[in-house]
Amino acid sequence: MPDIQKVSIALTGEQITVLKAAVDSGEYATTSEIVREALREWQWKRELRSEDLSRLREQWRAGKESGAAVTLDLGRTRERARRKLKEAAERSA
């Protein structure tokens, strides 16, 4: 069994009311159960944010290492996309 320790936290009256309502409705057995679930979810989200930040840093690094930015000619890019769409349509016809 994990080491259980008691802590004291301060909550607003509204938060206490919501906790008690969840217990009274039978959704949870105790307010502690709710807080533990909330902490597990917070930990999970924190890990996801950390992973997202690591990926973002890696992508930023890769982008910087890929070289200098170049000016994008939108007209030429659109024309190239239209040509590819037309060729794909002709192949499937």
Angle at 11 between CA 5 and CA 45, to 5 degrees: 70
Crossing angle of helices 13-24 and 31-65, rounded to 10°: 110
Q: What was the pLDDT predicted at 84?
A: 97
Show the tokens assigned to 24. Answer: 């009274």
DSSP-derived secondary structure letter, 70: -
pLDDT per position as a tens digit, 1-48: 678 899 999 999 999 999 999 999 999 999 999 999 999 999 999 999
